[in-house]
Structure 1
Amino acid sequence: MTTPTPEVEAAAEHLDGDILILGIAGKMGPTLGELLVRAGCPRVIGLSRFSDPASQKDLEDRGIETIKADLLGEEAMASLPDAPYVYQMAGHKFGSTGNEPLMWAMNTLLPARVVSRYSNSKIVYVSSGNVYQFAQTTGAGSAETDEVEPIGEYAQSRLGGERIAAFEADRLGTELAIVRLFYATELRYGIVLDIGQKVAAGEPVDLTMGYVNQIWQGDANAYLCRCFEFCESPAKTINMTGPEVLSVRAIAESLGKALGVNPVFTGEEADTALLGDGSEMFDALGEPQIGFDQIVAWVAGWLVSGGKTLGKPTKFESRTGKF
């Protein structure tokens, strides 16, 4: 996930200044930061609250400078270093039910503050595909021009963040790209792992959200390294996901075959699901390098070997927007 492709190295050559990753200690930040370092970016800075000191040391061992700060603090934003390239990855999803005020502050208030602070920078803001209404499973998924209809407060807070950040970017002339991500996956986290764990344990796999998109996190990171070219004012919105609409049932059956287990199912597939169409990004940057069969094989092998996980289920099955 951190080996740069020639395309990533070429993109890194054009990033002629410091890169700041806000919210680096999340699921994607550490590998994105390491990929940028390995691609040749001279200075990558990562900011987080770093509630786990070990995660801060791990990033520093990868060649990433770190800053420990709470972005919602009164003085934090003003004290941050200038940087011509900024990733806004800080947000709040899991555990947000019951903690809605923090969720709205992180997902809606903070992005606009970032744009105001870094108005002269190029900003890649990683948002969520959850802002879309559910799409028909027989189609390609929601495109950037389709209607949004966020379900639940998490999705609403994400759309609110996009709208206010876009307003600030337009007002200030800031170059902003809003990237709507649909479920990156890796060995320690993701929908494939969630399904595989249930199959291996003999637990029923819920089919209600019967179709999904997936993108290997290494491919998602490679796209993000190249996303500064999408930064515009007014802001540009672009989807990031895999090229296929995938059946949850078929994923479970493939994993079951690899694990030697017959999967158990509950519920029936609805005719809609949270799906995104990544064609615009594929047209600009090419399709992901890692195919879905390879992802399934890797995850199955990881489960058989007893590999560690992040212990954070995606809760992709939710059709209520509660996470």
Structure 2
Amino acid sequence: MLLSRDNLPATVESVAALDDLLARPTKALIDDLNRVDGDIMILGVAGKMGPTVAALAKAALPARRVIGVARFSDPPVKKWLEARGIETISCDLMDEAAIATLPKAPNIIFMAGRKFGAEGDLALTWAMNAHVPALVAQAFPKSWIVAFSTGCVYPFVPVTGGGATEDEPPNPPGEYAQSCIGRERMFEYFSQKFGTPGRLFRLNYAIDLRYGVLHDIASKVIQGQPIDVTISHVNVIWQGDAAAQALRCLAHCDSPTSPINISGHQILAVRELANKFGQRFRRAPVFSGTETPTAWLTNTALAVKLFGEPVVDIDRLIGWTADWVARSMPSFGKPTKYEVADGRY
């Protein structure tokens, strides 16, 4: 069954149901991918969002070869992908010789990178977020490359505005976000040098019921923990929608590569989100901090023009998340740290 706004479930009953929902393609995704020739290879497939992208690609194009590449330090991820018909290759992307042995797939989704714990080893963060992209861009000069980035490359912008557009010059706080600019610059440089088509996929924040900004807020509300509202507003998007837009970008690449903001089209107040969860849990949220007039926010008008609005809207996301958290369903245990204001993750 294809995914549409008309057939979304009222609740997501289990992890298996969640995985299946995330991997249900829309007709628009299938149509765009049918405009793209050749295999699809996902580099860094073993992260939180990579399995969704791979499974969605395979569901949309069951006859097409979809390849997932990672170190696979977590063996169950490899088994999960292979059970869905995705070919897996173990590879350390820090190893230039190993990269050279990978298939020369005409379509690449680049998802490798480092965020959590970035402050603990900044040299490794820069190597993963800037050096590895340079190796990959040189190894695949003829491929179309959609490279995951982050909305954190922008400076903070007023919460009363429409969010940063792709024309806003990157100027973020913190070395993590600066290293993400390094990632983008490497893909830009080699795209200009080789004429490699691509997109720089500036995402914030993807919502999987096991993690994400909404999961963080809902969990704190139900546990009676204080919610820091210093970063007072956010953008969020259902992970299935974000994954679909990443794959659809393969049909909308530029040469040289160019950025595109990916998130929900609404700017959401953290306090209001917490109050909505509080109403569902019948528990008054506890707040800390003072709202600042600026935040990391993006304007997604370009994405909406190319792809339309996300299939799953914010009210549905709040309902799914509240139900999931209330039933003490599994969590990845990885806070997004959306409330961090100085860029030190």
TM-score (norm 1): 0.98
Q: Distance in 2 between matches of 1:125 and 1:32?
A: 13
Q: Distance in 2 between matches of 1:59 and 1:260?
A: 39
User: Aligned partner of 1:214: which letter?
Assistant: V
Contact 2:33 2:250 in 1 (8 A): no
Residue 29 of structure 1: aligned partner: 50
Is structure 2 residue 173 aligned with structure 1 residue 151? yes
Alignment of 1:88-107 (within 5 A): 88-107=110-129
Is structure 2 residue 90 aligned with structure 1 residue 68? yes
Identity in percent? 45
Residue 35 of structure 2: aligned partner: 14
Deviations 1:48-96 (A, max 9, x none): 1111111111111111111111100242111111100001100000011
SS in 2 for 1:97: helix
Residue 242 of structure 1: aligned partner: 264
User: Aligned partner of 2:294: which letter?
Assistant: T
- The alpha carbon displacement at 1:222 in A equals 1.4
2:73 to 46, 51, 64: 51
- The alpha carbon displacement at 1:140 in A equals 0.8
Instruction: Flag structure 2 segments of 5+ consecutive residues without an equivalent.
Output: 1-21
Alignment of 1:1-323 (within 5 A): 1-41=22-62, 42-323=64-345
Contact 2:96 2:135 in 1 (8 A): no
- The alpha carbon displacement at 1:260 in A equals 1.6
Q: Distance in 2 between matches of 1:314 and 1:146?
A: 24
Q: Distance in 2 between matches of 1:16 and 1:170?
A: 22
Contact 1:2 1:35 in 2 (8 A): yes
Question: Does the C-alpha gap of structure 1 residues 90 and 179 become closer, same or farther in structure 2, counting only changes over 3 Å?
Answer: same
Contact 1:204 1:265 in 2 (8 A): yes
Q: Distance in 1 between matches of 2:194 and 2:301?
A: 30
- The alpha carbon displacement at 1:146 in A equals 1.1
Q: Distance in 2 between matches of 1:234 and 1:75?
A: 26
SS in 2 for 1:103: helix
Contact 1:230 1:236 in 2 (8 A): no
Q: Distance in 2 between matches of 1:258 and 1:76?
A: 50
SS in 1 for 2:109: strand
Q: Distance in 2 between matches of 1:204 and 1:301?
A: 20
SS in 1 for 2:77: helix
Q: Distance in 2 between matches of 1:134 and 1:64?
A: 39
SS in 2 for 1:115: helix
Q: Distance in 1 between matches of 2:37 and 2:252?
A: 16
Deviations 1:132-177 (A, max 9, x none): 0001000111000012211100000000111121011101111121
Contact 1:207 1:265 in 2 (8 A): yes
Deviations 1:70-126 (A, max 9, x none): 100242111111100001100000011111111101111111211111100100001
Instruction: Flag structure 1 segments of 5+ consecutive residues without an equivalent.
Output: none
- The alpha carbon displacement at 1:19 in A equals 0.6
Contact 2:222 2:326 in 1 (8 A): no
Aligned pairs, number = 323
- The alpha carbon displacement at 1:238 in A equals 0.8
Aligned alpha-carbon RMSD (Å): 0.9
- The alpha carbon displacement at 1:12 in A equals 2.3
User: Aligned partner of 1:137: which letter?
Assistant: V
User: Aligned partner of 1:57: which letter?
Assistant: K
TM-score (norm 2): 0.92
Q: Distance in 1 between matches of 2:96 and 2:137?
A: 16
